[in-house]
């Protein structure tokens, strides 16, 4: 009768030891944070404004999926209200790459200025206040921090971890000098899945008791999105920031506009738009869109219009993040994906295999084997039912090396994206008079090379089908090289 009692006592001892160990780890993490707090001056820092120059990169817009994102000269400033948890980033980009390669609004003929405000109501991402050195310390101290140690490059580092917003794991790497060298977290992305965001901090300097890094580099999905050399830091600067209101969820929608018998332009939100083509026993949707929701809306609209014709094929024009987010939805639908041969490794190893635990999608909930048809450089693939034909061609261009366009000979309609856009209004970075965008010029050359009788264009970034005369007008100027790189100070 005593053996069970001894076992119970043993279990109690083990439980107490486990509790003691957990408490010790918590105390250790807290004590480390206290040291970092003293070093960085985090608790006493109500706000900060800092600025500098360097390089910004267009996330998910690389010329091909296995190289870094497009690079731009950047002037950057950021204001943070730590007490409100609000941040405002302002970035002015100018053209760096010559010739231009990739998306991000290239080529830039003038400065491109943008601002982003982030608060507790904003989507979790690289602009979160908790991903800055002082912001990390404050957020970790307010959470339930844990601690581990590791060696990186032969040096011991302490890793403090906590969970932000009850969902997102955040790790901060602290060195022997009690400063934060790196903060990392993961964010949901419809193309890349649970995507690593890592920000590194170096060259700390003292500003009236506040230590701040003079070198900041942020990466998303393995490639840089910001490389900043800080030149000015103003601790406790007067900042007036308003937390953004919680955005009401906007349901994705797709509305069909008939162009010809069996051909529809699928307008809706969010942009870009797609196209639907009917064949005898099936249908084809061109363009994946920027969210899974929009892809599902496109599929639903196709089923409404053609209830007995499955979406047998989906044409994925290229890998850019605003054109590949729906690929997984089409795999789940059972559609065969037609894309460029260059995408094979990226889609196999990243898009299809990366975990989607932060935001489970249709494919992760109901896994299905993917089917692909790959088009090679300057290649062609034809879909036909004996009556209607769709010709799918590769277009050699600077925007995306793997870009596909689709042509309907009977309707003389070209389905195209990115290297021809029409928003119905001028945009700040449209080419000046007399200059043709090299991306538009590449499209014109490819149409001539293939001897296609194009009378109509359906741009995915746009709102309607347009006469080909619109492209011809834009091609009347003199094709020139992109602008000379502007002089931007950067150290």
The mean per-residue pLDDT over the stretch 112-131 comes to 95
Q: How confident is the model at residue 318 (pLDDT cuts 50, 70, 90)?
A: very high
Per-residue pLDDT at 428 exceeds 90: no
The mean per-residue pLDDT over the stretch 421-448 comes to 82
Name the 3-class secondary structure at 130.
helix
Mean residue pLDDT across the chain: 90
> Which structure tokens are listed for 31?
């004590």
Cα–Cα nearest to 300, from 333, 337, 339 = 333
The mean per-residue pLDDT over the stretch 336-351 comes to 98
Per-residue pLDDT at 13 exceeds 90: no
Q: Strand ranges (DSSP E) for 175-306?
A: 180-189, 193-207, 210-220, 223-235, 253-260, 263-269, 274-278, 283-286
Q: How confident is the model at residue 423 (pLDDT cuts 50, 70, 90)?
A: low
Residues 319, 372: contact at Cβ < 8 Å? no
In words, the CATH class of domain 253-479 is: alpha beta
Percent of the chain residues past pLDDT 70, beyond the cut: 90
Q: Which residues, 6 or more positions from 418, have their beta carbon under 8 angstroms from its beta carbon?
A: 103, 317, 318, 320, 323, 399, 400, 403, 439, 460, 461
Q: How confident is the model at residue 477 (pLDDT cuts 50, 70, 90)?
A: low
Q: How do beta strands 223-235 and 253-260 pair?
A: unpaired
Q: How do beta strands 193-207 and 435-436 pair?
A: unpaired
Per-residue pLDDT at 101 exceeds 80: yes
Per-residue pLDDT at 474 exceeds 90: no
Residues 309, 334: contact at Cβ < 8 Å? no
Residues 243, 88: contact at Cβ < 8 Å? no
Q: In angstroms, rounded to a whole number, what is the distance separating the alpha carbons of residues 131 and 383?
A: 48
pLDDT recorded at residue 487:
41
Tell me the pLDDT tens digit for each residue of 222-258: 999 999 999 999 999 999 998 888 777 788 999 999 9
Residues 420, 309: contact at Cβ < 8 Å? no
5: exposed, middle or buried (Cβ count in 10 Å: 0-12, 13-18, 19+): exposed
pLDDT recorded at residue 404:
98
Q: How confident is the model at residue 176 (pLDDT cuts 50, 70, 90)?
A: very high
pLDDT recorded at residue 6:
42
Host H or E run for residue 114: strand 112-118
Radius of gyration of the CA atoms of the chain, in A = 26
Tell me the pLDDT tens digit for each residue of 384-399: 999 999 999 999 999 9
Peptide bond into 99 cis (omega under 30): yes
Q: Which residues, 6 or more positions from 249, have their beta carbon under 8 angstroms from its beta carbon?
A: none
pLDDT recorded at residue 137:
98
- pTM, rounded to two decimals: 0.90
The mean per-residue pLDDT over the stretch 87-112 comes to 94
Residues 270, 321: contact at Cβ < 8 Å? no
The mean per-residue pLDDT over the stretch 162-189 comes to 97
pLDDT recorded at residue 426:
66
Half-sphere exposure in the Cβ direction for 345 (13 Å, CA)? 5
Residues 200, 209: contact at Cβ < 8 Å? no
pLDDT recorded at residue 5:
40
Tell me the pLDDT tens digit for each residue of 37-57: 999 999 999 999 999 999 999
Spans of all domains in the chain: 24-235, 253-479
pLDDT recorded at residue 27:
53
Q: In angstroms, rounded to a whole number, what is the distance separating the alpha carbons of residues 14 and 114?
A: 57
The conformation of residue 410, written as its DSSP 8-state character, comes to T
pLDDT recorded at residue 490:
39
Q: How confident is the model at residue 35 (pLDDT cuts 50, 70, 90)?
A: very high
Q: Which comes out higher in pLDDT, residue 470 or 234?
A: 234
CATH code given to domain 24-235: 2.50.20
Q: Biggest alpha carbon distance in the chain?
A: 98
Per-residue pLDDT at 269 exceeds 50: yes
Tell me the pLDDT tens digit for each residue of 290-314: 999 999 999 999 999 999 999 999 9
Percent of the chain residues past pLDDT 90, beyond the cut: 80
Q: How confident is the model at residue 10 (pLDDT cuts 50, 70, 90)?
A: very low
Q: In angstroms, rounded to a whole number, what is the distance separating the alpha carbons of residues 309 and 262?
A: 12
Per-residue pLDDT at 167 exceeds 50: yes
Host H or E run for residue 445: helix 438-450
365: exposed, middle or buried (Cβ count in 10 Å: 0-12, 13-18, 19+): exposed
Q: How confident is the model at residue 421 (pLDDT cuts 50, 70, 90)?
A: confident
pLDDT recorded at residue 14:
40
């Amino acid at each position: 009768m005593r053996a069970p009692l001894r076992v119970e006592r043993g279990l109690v001892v083990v439980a107490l030891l486990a509790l003691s160990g957990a408490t010790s780890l918590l105390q250790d993490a807290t004590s480390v944070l206290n040291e970092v707090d003293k070093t960085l001056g985090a608790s006493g820092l109500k706000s900060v404004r800092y600025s500098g120059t360097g390089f910004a990169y267009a996330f998910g817009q690389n010329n091909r999926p296995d190289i870094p994102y497009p690079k731009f000269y950047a002037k950057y400033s950021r204001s943070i209200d730590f007490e409100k948890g609000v941040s405002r980033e302002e970035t002015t980009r100018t053209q760096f790459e010559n010739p231009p390669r990739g998306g991000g609004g290239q080529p830039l003929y003038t400065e491109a200025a943008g601002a982003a405000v982030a608060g507790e109501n904003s989507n979790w991402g690289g602009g979160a206040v908790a991903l800055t050195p002082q912001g990390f310390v404050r957020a970790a101290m307010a959470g339930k921090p844990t601690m581990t140690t590791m060696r990186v490059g032969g040096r011991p580092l302490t890793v403090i971890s906590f969970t932000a917003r009850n969902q997102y794991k955040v790790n901060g790497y602290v060195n022997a000098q009690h400063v934060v060298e790196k903060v990392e977290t993961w964010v949901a992305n419809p193309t890349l899945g649970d995507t690593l965001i890592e920000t590194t901090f170096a060259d700390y300097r003292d500003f009236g008791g506040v230590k701040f890094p003079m070198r900041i580099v942020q990466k998303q999905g393995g490639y840089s999105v910001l490389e900043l050399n800080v030149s000015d830091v103003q601790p406790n600067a007067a900042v007036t920031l308003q937390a953004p209101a919680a955005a009401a969820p906007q349901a994705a929608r797709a509305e069909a506009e008939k162009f010809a018998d069996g051909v529809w332009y699928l307008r809706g939100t969010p942009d870009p738009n797609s196209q639907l083509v009917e064949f005898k026993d099936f249908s084809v949707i061109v363009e994946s869109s920027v969210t899974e929701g929009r892809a599902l809306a496109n599929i639903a609209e196709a089923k409404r219009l053609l209830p007995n014709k499955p979406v047998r094929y989906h044409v994925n024009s290229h890998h850019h993040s605003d054109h590949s987010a729906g690929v997984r939805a089409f795999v789940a639908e059972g559609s065969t994906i037609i894309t460029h041969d260059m995408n094979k490794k990226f889609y196999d190893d990243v898009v299809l295999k990366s975990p989607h635990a932060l935001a489970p999608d249709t494919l992760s909930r109901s896994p299905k084997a993917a089917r692909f048809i790959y088009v090679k450089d300057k290649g062609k693939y034809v879909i036909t039912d004996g009556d209607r034909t769709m010709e799918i061609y590769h277009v050699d261009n600077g925007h995306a090396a793997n870009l596909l366009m689709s042509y309907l000979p009977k309707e003389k309609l070209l389905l195209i994206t990115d290297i021809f856009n029409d928003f119905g209004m001028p945009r700040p970075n449209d080419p000046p008079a007399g200059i043709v965008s090299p991306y538009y010029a590449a499209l014109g050359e490819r149409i001539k090379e293939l001897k296609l009788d194009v009378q109509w264009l359906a741009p995915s970034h746009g709102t309607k089908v347009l006469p080909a005369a619109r492209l011809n007008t834009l091609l009347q100027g003199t094709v020139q090289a992109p602008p000379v790189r502007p002089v931007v100070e950067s150290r």
